[in-house]
Chains A and B, each alone.
Chain A
Amino acid sequence: MLPGFAPTLAITLLWLFVIVLGPICVMLWFTAGMGWSAFLKEITTPRVLADLWVSLRSALLASAFNAAFGLLVAWVLTRYQFPGRRIADALVDLPFALPTAVAGISLSTLYAPDGWIGGLLAPFGIRVAFQPAGIVVAMMFISLPFIVRTVQPVIEDLEPEQEEAAHLMGASPLQVFLRISFPAILPALLTGFALAFARALGEYGSIIFIAGNKPMVSEIMPVLIMQQLDQFDYQGATAIGVLMLGVSFVLLFAINLLQAWVRRRHGQ
């Protein structure tokens, strides 16, 4: 018998519609207006397909690397005590808090041939900035917290008794990890991977400075959309936007499924 249901629901729905849903509907309506064949034509140009591939490949690589390193960081932060642990833990959220443009110019300068890290790699012929590799690095930066923060709670909840039992039976630490801890962490790791992947795909600000933005080589989807808007090609921009939205929805759906799986496994 609590009061206030109707007004709060009305405000919530109204706000959600005006800000989010309405505009999305308008975009879908625009796309419908251009006809199916025109839509397909827009999203299957060589440039779009190549850029899509650049986005997907880079996000995949970045998320994969982050899965490995993120798991390590999460493990170390949760399991071990060492001086400065709390600060390190707080720092994991830095990519969340740091504006993307700042991250962008910083990474770009850092990995440029005359930058702190780029300079170290140049003698070996490794170029990062303004190459496709730069995109991966930037994506790794901004999506790292997604993996770490998703996996940490699961690691915290691991039961030490299971690992102790395995030790007693003669398993080495590596075996214990691979056979006992890792399978328990896996669902959360996959969820984190999916979240990181989704975020990396849509990222713009941190990438444009360090990427070469060369069409078909080091140009990501969001940049393509920007280009088309600059040229007032609303149709093209909308088509690609809808494509990206479609991919986002599919990912969102997959993530929800994964999270439900994690909850079931975790017994919550």
Chain B
Amino acid sequence: MANRVLLITVALVFMVVFLVLPLISVFAQALSAGLGAYASSIADPNVQSAIWMTLTIAAIAVPANLVFGVCASWCIGRFKFPGRNLLITLIDLPFSISPVIAGLLEVLLFGLNGLLGGWLSAHNIQIIFALPGMVLATIFVTLPFVAREVIPLVQEQGNEEEEAAVTLGASGWQIFWRVCLPKIRWALLYGVLLCNARAMGEFGAVSVVSGKVFGQTDTLPLAVESLYGSYEIQAAFAAASLLAMLALVTLVLKAALEWWHRDELHGAKRKKAT
């Protein structure tokens, strides 16, 4: 029907204007001075160190929240106890808090005038404006990602197989490793994927706690801001393009997981196969 075509067209035009154009713009701007300029922007030592900083932070934050997510899924998904629902809500808290607030919290704790500030400077430990602070801020912001993928799945799958393993004499670790892990591995991967995308792309929280010294305590998103602010537009977009590619890879892997392993992700993720 004409109606249908009209609706589809409007929807697609909207999506192109609002979603696709910004994405294409990133790459167009990055390559606006040619491939050579693009390559040298990326190879710039400051950008390189920012990449390295981003990777390091993600390498710490993601595994940490992975362990957290697994532990949370075990105690919350398999047992009933008072306050369980409150705990689930609390885990979702970082989702609803502005990233700037996350950074603010770190500053209040570890900043010069913060709660632990005096003690830290007396012992010459640097948290704010250094890697530890940035890692903590990132961990705060990405805390829920793995947990909220695995907890509903574990609840859906139930405890029967694990109980059977108990009757067969398996220890707690054996049960987790041999019986539980194979069932949740795809959901874990999905959670890690989203967690990583957020960890590498986090801007607001890290912005507050970073020293913003370009070349030393900048992550890639901060480097983007730095370059853009100093009107090195093409370089800024070159750095941004790396992050955009990360986003695209994340989207592709996410779609792949949803397509091939939809049975092993929790119910809300299973879209009808149309």
Given a CB threshold of 8 Å, the question of whether A touches B is answered with: yes
A residues with CB within 8 A of B = 1-5, 7-9, 11-13, 15-16, 19-24, 26-27, 30, 69, 72-73, 75-78, 80-82, 86, 88, 90-110, 115-117, 140-141, 144, 152-153, 156, 173, 198, 201-205, 209, 221-222, 225-226, 229, 232, 234, 237-238, 241, 244-245, 248-249, 251-252, 256
Give the chain A neighbours of B203 by CB distance below 8 A: 99-101, 104, 204-205
CB of B35 within 8 A of chain A?
no
| B93-A105 in contact (CB<8A) | no
A101 to B153, CA, bound (A): 32
Residue B230, interface by CB 8 Å: no
CB-based contact B136/A19 at 8 Å: yes
Tell whether A204 pairs with B228 under 8 Å between CB atoms, given A2-B162, A69-B14, A73-B15. Answer: no
Say whether B10 faces chain A, with CB atoms less than 8 Å apart: yes
Contact B172 A3 (CB under 8 A): yes
Interface of B (DSSP majority class): helix
Q: List 18 A-B contacts (CB under 8 A).
A: A3-B175, A9-B81, A12-B68, A16-B90, A26-B109, A27-B108, A75-B7, A80-B4, A97-B197, A98-B247, A109-B237, A117-B21, A173-B3, A203-B204, A205-B203, A209-B225, A241-B104, A248-B96
Distance in Å: Cβ of A203 to nearest Cβ of chain B = 7
Shortest beta-carbon distance from A110 to chain B in Å:
5
B22 at the interface (CB under 8 A from A): yes
| A-side contacts of B96, CB under 8 Å | 198, 202, 248-249, 251-252
Tell me if B23 is interfacial: C-beta within 8 Å of chain A.
Answer: yes
Q: Report the minimum CB–CB distance from A251 to chain B (whole Å).
A: 7
- B255 with A90: CB separation less than 8 A: yes
CA distance A212 to B244 in the complex (A): 24
Residues of B within 8 A of A153 (CB): 268, 271
CB-based contact A26/B76 at 8 Å:
no
Residue in B75, B100, B268 whose beta carbon sits within 8 Å of that of A204 in the complex:
B100
Judging by beta carbons under 8 Å apart, are B15 and A88 in contact? yes
Contacts of A222 in B (CB 8 A): 98-101, 204
Smallest CB-CB separation from B223: which chain A residue?
Answer: A101
Q: State A110–B233 Cα separation when bound (angstroms).
A: 13
For residues 207 through 246 of chain B, which have their beta carbon under 8 Å from a beta carbon of chain A?
207-208, 221-222, 224-225, 228, 233, 236-237, 240, 243-244, 246
Other A-B pairs, 14, CB within 8 Å; known A117-B17, A238-B104: A3-B171, A3-B172, A4-B75, A8-B72, A12-B87, A72-B14, A76-B8, A90-B255, A98-B244, A105-B225, A106-B23, A117-B21, A204-B203, A237-B107
Q: Which residue on chain A has the smallest CB distance to residue B174?
A: A3
B231 to nearest A CB, angstroms?
Answer: 12
Report if A2-B17 is in contact (Cβ < 8 Å); known contacts: A94-B247, A94-B251. Answer: no
Whether B15 lies near A102 (C-beta < 8 A) is: no
Interface 1/0 per residue, B131-142 and A, CB below 8 Å: 000001001100
A2 touches B251 (CB 8 A): no
Name which residue of chain B comes closest to A115, CB basis: B25
Contacting B101 at CB < 8 Å: which of A144, A198, A244? A244
Closest approach, in angstroms, between the C-beta of B144 and any C-beta of chain A? 10
Shortest C-beta distance, A41 to chain B (Å), equals 19
Asked if residues A98 and B23 are in contact (CB atoms below 8 Å), the reply is yes
Report which of B12, B98, B221 forms a contact with A99, defined as CB distance below 8 A: B221
The answer to whether the Cβ of B19 comes within 8 Å of any Cβ in the partner chain is: yes
Q: Which 4 A-B pairs have the closest CB atoms?
A: A99-B201, A202-B98, A3-B172, A205-B203
Q: Which residues does chain B contribute within 8 Å of A12, judged by CB atoms?
A: 68, 71-72, 75-76, 87
B22, B96, B255: residue with the most chain A Cβ atoms closer than 10 Å: B22
The answer for the CA separation of A102 and B25 in the assembled complex, in Å, is 10
User: Nearest Cβ distance between residue B198 and chain A, in whole angstroms?
Assistant: 9
